[in-house]
Amino acid sequence: MCVGVVMKIIMGSDHAGFAMKEKVKAFLKGRGVEVEDVGTHSEASVDYTDFGKQVACKISDGTFERGILICGTGLGMSMTANRFKGVRAALANDLFSAIMSRRHNDSNILVLGGRLIGDTLAVQLVETWLETPFDGGRHQRRLEKMDVD
Tens digit of each residue's pLDDT (9 = 90 or more) over 39-53: 999 999 999 999 999
Return the percentage of the chain with pLDDT > 70, whole number.
95
In this predicted structure, what is the pLDDT of residue 23? 98
The model's confidence at residue 149, banded by pLDDT at 50, 70 and 90, is: low
Cα separation, 97 vs 102, in Å, equals: 9
The pLDDT mean for the chain works out to: 94
Q: What is the pTM of this model?
A: 0.94
Asked if residue 10 lies in contact with residue 55, where contact means CB atoms within 8 angstroms, the answer is yes
What CATH number belongs to 8-144? 3.40.1400.10
Domain boundary assignment for the chain: 8-144
d(CA 77, CA 48): 6
Q: Note the pLDDT of residue 78.
A: 98
Burial of 139 (0-12, 13-18, 19+ CB in 10 A): middle
Please indicate whether residue 104 is annotated as part of the active site: yes
Catalytic residue (choose from 2, 15, 57, 104):
104
Indicate which residue of 15, 41, 57, 71 is catalytic: 71
Contact 71, 15 (CB under 8 A): no
Q: Tell me what percent of the residues of the chain surpass a pLDDT of 90.
A: 85
Report the Cα 132 to chain-centroid distance in Å. Answer: 13
**Tens-place pLDDT, residues 75-99:** 999 999 999 999 999 999 999 999 9
